[in-house]
Amino acid sequence: MLLELEGIRKNFGGVQALKRGDLRAAAGEVHALIGENGAGKSTMMKIIAGMYQRDGGDVRWKGQSVHFQKPGDAHAVGISMVHQESLLAPHLTVAENIYLGRETLHGPLLHKAAMQSSASRLIEENNFPLQAHWKVRDLSPAQRQLVEICRALHGASSLIIFDEPTASLSESETVEVFRIVRELRQKGIGILYITHRLVELAEIADKVTVLRDGDTVYHGNYKDTSMDEIVHQMVGRKVERIYEREKLTPGKEVLKVDIPGAAFSIHEGEIVGVAGLMGAGRTELCQTLFGVTPSDEGEIRIEGRKVHPKSPREAVDAGIALITEDRQQTGLALELPIRMNITMANLGAVTKAGIVRQAEEKTVSERFRDKLQIRAASVEQNAGRLSGGNQQKVVIAKWLYRDTKIVLFDEPTRGIDVGAKAEVFALMDEMAREGKAILMVSSELPELLQVADRILVMRGGKITAELPRETTQEEIMHHAAVGN
Ligand SMILES: Nc1ncnc2c1ncn2[C@@H]1O[C@H](COP(=O)(O)OP(=O)(O)OP(=O)(O)O)[C@@H](O)[C@H]1O
Ligand SMILES: [Mg+2]
C-alpha cells in the first residue's frame, strides 16, 4: 500500500469540496477516480500532491501520516501529478517546462543543451508530436497536455496522478497514454487516474473509487463492477447513456462556406459534425469562420449575404459564435465572477443608459447556472475557482446567452461528466429546433454519431469526406486516416 486517505475534508469559503475522501492506492496498480463535475476529484488529488492543505482527515504515505505543505514535499517522496488545467509557463520552451522547478534534481545550472536533448529523448520515446525547442504558447491544448505528461514522467518514482490526461487528446495520443500507464504499472509505480471517458476504464483500471458530492460512495475492483453500477454510483440515479437525437427537417441554408479545403453548408436546424485526427485542421476551420485566422481566398455566406469576418468581434456581429476547445486561454476570464463571464459577450442586453445592471446580470446568470447545473457557491464565484467541467459549462452559457444564428462548438463536451453531456446535447438540440445552424467538432466519434445530422471528415487541412448520419466509426476513421 502506497497511499491511504481517510475522511479527508476540504472547504473553500462555503463550498464543501470534500466531506469524506477515502482512497487506498497500491504500487503497481491503476486506480481510477470517477465522479461528476465538481465532485471533488481534483481537490483530493491536489491535497495528495501538496497543492492544497486538508481541513481534516488523515493522509498516510507508506504507513506514515504525512502533511505535504507544498508540491515539492510530495515530489520529494516520489509523487507527481499531471494536471487537468495546464500549469505550464507559456513563454518557455517545451524542454524548459519539463524541467521547470526541478532544478534541485539537476543542480541550478543545468546545461541548456543537455536539457534539450534529454527532453527530446523523452518525447521520442513516447511518440509525441512535439519538439523540445517549441514555445509552449504556440501549442494546442492537446500538445500542452503531452508536455504536462512528459513533465510528470520525468522524475516519476512512486506514484503518478493523471487528472483527465486524455480529455484533449485524439485517438492515437490516447493509445500512447495507455501504453505509458501500463508501463508505469509494470514498473511497480502506483497510478491514480481521473477520467470522464468511462470506456477508458476497461483499458486500464484495476480499482475504482467513486466520489459523489465530496463523499466516497464506492470502492472496489474494476472487474467486480459494471459500467451501469459505476454511473449509478456517480450520479445517484439511473442515466440513459445513449443520447438519441431526433432528426429534424432542415430549413433554409444559413451558412455556406467555400474556402480552400472546405466547401459545405449548414441549414437551419442542422447539426453538422466535424471529425478528424489531431492536427487535421478542425480547430483552424473554426478559427477561420470566427475571424481569428481569416481566409483571403474563397467566400463565406450567411443567409446568402457575403461576409468576411476579420476578427471574432466581426464574426459575432455577423452572427457566428465559437465555443472554443481552449476554455482557459480564450473562453473564460478566470479572474471574473461567473455572472460577468456569462454576460460578457452580450453586455448590451444587460446594460441600460450605459450602465451594466448587476441585478439583471445576476438573474440571467442564475438562470444559466440552473439550466446547465453549474456547481458553485454563487454566481459571484470567480470562474477560475470552478472545477474543470463547470468552467466548460460557463463557456457554453456565455454563447447561449449571446444568441447567434450560427454556433461553432469545438470539442463541447471536453471534461464534462456523463450526466451533463446529455444536458449539453439536449441544449444543442434545443438550439437546432430554434432554427440555429450548428457545427460541432468532436474527437468523440460515438458522440458525433449520436448528435450530428451529417459528418464532415478532415485530413491534412481539407475536408476529405461528407458522411451521412448513418455512417460508422470505422468509415469515419478510414477517411480521417487514409482517405479514399
Ligand atoms: N480553489 C478553489 N476555490 C474555491 N472553490 C474551489 C476551488 N477548487 C475547487 N473548488 C470547488 O470545489 C468543488 C470540487 O471541485 P473539483 O475541482 O475537485 O471537482 P472535480 O471533481 O475535479 O470536477 P471536474 O470533473 O469538473 O474536474 C467545486 O464545487 C469547485 O468549485
Ligand atoms: Mg477536476
CATH number, domain with residue 194: 3.40.50.300
Q: Whose CA is nearest to atom 29 of ligand 1?
A: 38
User: Of 235, 261, 285, which residue constitutes the final position of a domain?
Assistant: 235
- pLDDT for res 167: 85
Cβ–Cβ contacts within 10 Å for residue 353, how many? 5
Does residue 244 sit within a domain?
Answer: no
Residues 52 and 201 both lie in one domain: yes
Nearest CA among 250, 258, 326, 265 for reference residue 295: 258
Residues 52 and 153 both lie in one domain: yes
Residues 94 and 129 both lie in one domain: yes
| Residue to mutate, 386, 393, 417, ligand 1, most ligand atoms under 8 Å from C-beta | 386
Does residue 126 sit within a domain?
Answer: yes
Domain of residue 464: give its range. 253-481
Distance 214 CA to ligand 1 centre (A): 10
- pLDDT for res 107: 56
User: Of 169, 202, 235, which residue constitutes the final position of a domain?
Assistant: 235
- pLDDT for res 209: 97
Residues 353 and 209 both lie in one domain: no
- pLDDT for res 241: 55
Number of domains observed in the structure of the chain: 2
Residues 32 and 83 both lie in one domain: yes
Q: Whose CA is nearest to atom 22 of ligand 1?
A: 42
Q: Grid coordinates in use for 236?
A: 445517484
Does residue 208 sit within a domain?
Answer: yes
Does residue 368 sit within a domain?
Answer: yes
Distance 83 CA to ligand 2 centre (A): 9
Nearest CA among 365, 370, 395, 396 for reference residue 381: 365
Closest ligand (CA of 36): 1
Does residue 246 sit within a domain?
Answer: no
Distance 451 CA to ligand 2 centre (A): 25
Residues 443 and 315 both lie in one domain: yes
- Does residue 21 line the site of ligand 1, with CB under 6 A? no
Residues 87 and 224 both lie in one domain: yes
Residues 222 and 318 both lie in one domain: no
β-partners of residue 81 are 161
Residues 391 and 433 both lie in one domain: yes
Q: Grid coordinates in use for 336?
A: 471574473
- Does residue 385 line the site of ligand 1, with CB under 6 A? yes
- pLDDT for res 247: 80
Does residue 332 sit within a domain?
Answer: yes
Mean pLDDT, 10 residues at a time, the chain of 484 residues: 96 90 96 94 96 96 95 91 87 90 58 84 89 92 88 86 88 86 93 92 95 94 91 77 75 95 96 90 92 92 94 92 78 91 90 90 94 88 89 89 92 84 87 94 90 95 93 91 68
Residues 78 and 215 both lie in one domain: yes
User: Of 202, 235, 268, which residue constitutes the final position of a domain?
Assistant: 235
C-alpha gyration radius of the chain: 23
Residues 229 and 269 both lie in one domain: no
Distance 59 CA to ligand 1 centre (A): 20
- pLDDT for res 104: 47
| Residue to mutate, 23, 41, 43, 338, ligand 1, most ligand atoms under 8 Å from C-beta | 43
Cβ–Cβ contacts within 10 Å for residue 202, how many? 9
Does residue 102 sit within a domain?
Answer: yes
Residues 319 and 354 both lie in one domain: yes
Report which ligand 1 atom has the smallest distance to the Cα of 387: 17
Which residue is listed with cell 459571484? 380
Does residue 240 sit within a domain?
Answer: no
Q: Which residues contact 71 (CB under 8 A, 6 or more apart)?
A: 49, 50, 51, 81
Contact between 152 and 192 (Cβ < 8 Å)? no
- pLDDT for res 142: 83
Report which ligand 1 atom has the smallest distance to the Cα of 41: 21
